[in-house]
Amino acid sequence: MATQTQSSTVKSKEELIEKFSKPEVISGSEILLRSLLLEGVDCVFGYPGGAVLYIYDAMHDNPDFNHLLTRHEQGAIHAADGYARASGKVGVCIATSGPGATNLVTGIATAYMDSVPLVVITGNVFSTLIGTDAFQEADITGITMPITKHSYLVRKVEDLPRIIHEAFHIANTGRKGPVLIDIPKDVSAAKTLFQPVTEVNIRGYNPTINPNKLQVDKMIKAIAEAKKPLILAGGGVVYSGAHEELLEFVTKTQIPITTTLLGLGGFPSGNDLWLGMPGMHGTYTANNAIQSADLLINIGARFDDRVTGKLSGFAPHAKIVHIDIDPAEIGKNVPTDIPIVGDVKSVLAMANKLAVRADNADDWRASIQESKAKHPFKYIDSDTELKPQWVVQMIHETTNGDAIVTTDVGQHQMWAAQYYPFNKPRSWVTSGGLGTMGFGFPSAIGAQMANPDRVVVSINGDGGMQMCAQELAICAINNIPVKVVILNNQVLGMVRQWQELIHENRFSHIDLAGSPDFVKLAEAYGVRGFRASNKDEARTAWEEALRHPGPAVVEFVVRRDENVYPMVAQGSTIDQMIMGDAE
């Protein structure tokens, strides 16, 4: 496989330090590449243009530097995002000035909303032209100020080594997020003496990692007193690598747990105490447990509106504990009784030394198990039509639940979250906060580059797939074996569902029946394509796609008017669920 060959040529950090240890006068572009290599970057996604020509020239015949040329800047940044989510490392992308940089904005916002560590490198016009409306000039640091954790406009080539090292530190510490480095063309061309930077000293930046023990003691006391305790775990568990500590905490306390959309995989779905996902399309049991709990322990989640529903009616009986590395999130949406600021991994490590079984909650645990048995996710299957829920279940069965699954946004995203249970962290890659269509497929490319030996499945709708379908080219050229699933209902499914249920069947501008033949589209790019419209065809096509050593696209023609249930309408509390005909 091409990705394995590429990654095997990357030298170790020790080899690179030895190679670059001798001070040498080189260009800003060469400083950039060397600094990225010293940060452990093994793949950069990008698209060249005039303002980054010196940078791309430095890549020429550079055996140490692995760059993947995407077909659109949005594909590059979503791929870098998927790489970061699936690996735990910082994702990196490069684009030119002006339209190249502005094409990254949606991807930067996607990463910012979901706390994903990225270093985004853009070129800019010559320093002397900044502010003159020069050709392909855009104030990208100004444009992205609300959606980056930090940004740099590099004025002097001598600052580049420090800036790059700081950018990686900022992106991947504290509450993680995207950092932008804007490099004018003259800075990338200028030469100076290069010496690697290994230390970081950023005035005023000192995230709180270790919690206040008194606050952790208060949480442990609250657990001992609670009769209906519940844990709400979010993406912070995955990002901090705290899945083992969380499992130990739940095992010791025996507190039932629900995981948010971005928290899926942070706790094993096969555990009896796991209730599934809460919120707008969450499980009956998880939502009712939140509404009945007398203690709710939020671990690394931000009380997103899709989880809370109507805020004034959320968890009305619960004392709230909120553990988060970002103090700004605590108390922002839901009043907090016991705030604990710190890295989730560190907080749970401290809590596990004190944690004991929640002895007053036996009746609570019994009632939750009864609810789980009575109210699993349900749908009405069909022998004549292909149901999307069945397709996702079949994918789970044939991959043994071990695949990395990426999704776009919409109904298919919710069906994947509901019917593909995860037992490992960093196996679920999806756009949560921003809800970005076009994210699913290119993020799978990044996830595959980070994990060349794992099966990566990208589940998409027919709408979102067309937003970044051009990246099929790089899968074919580089033999990146992503398995692309398209649940084709010929409609903007989630919009149609809302128009049916909320807007009294007034369907407006949702028909996608004029979409391309996805099999022919895949074949046009040199990718194997398959189509299925019934269960027998679906199993045959999917199993053949899995056996195929390269990339493959499988189009599943599914029922047009299938809905995602349960559903909580906006303005309702999360126990006011529309259950659907199956329930």
Q: Which residues are catalytic?
A: 73, 135-136, 185, 494
Phi-psi region of 353 (alpha: psi -120 to 50; beta: other; left: phi over 0): alpha
Contact yes or no for 518/462 (Cβ under 8 A): yes
CA–CA distances in Å: residue 63 to residues 11, 264, 375, 549 = 9, 38, 56, 26
Please count the CA atoms within 13 angstroms of the CA of 422 that sit on its side-chain side.
26
Q: What angle do CA 286, 363, 278 make, to 5 degrees?
A: 5
CA angle 106-78-329, nearest 5°?
Answer: 60
What does the radius of gyration of the chain's CA atoms come to, in whole angstroms? Answer: 24
Which pair of structure tokens corresponds to residue 18?
Answer: 């030895």
Q: At what angle do helices 28-38 and 13-20 cross, to 10 degrees?
A: 150
Beta bridge partners of 324: 341
Query: What's the rounded Cα separation, in Å, for the pair 62 and 403?
Result: 33
Residue 92 identity (one-letter amino acid)? V
Residues contacting residue 504 through CB under 8 Å, at least 6 positions apart: none
CA distance 75 to 531: 25
Query: Measured between alpha carbons, how far is 137 from 543 in angstroms, rounded to an integer?
Result: 49
Distances (CA, A) of 415 to 257, 425, 494, 534: 20, 19, 11, 18
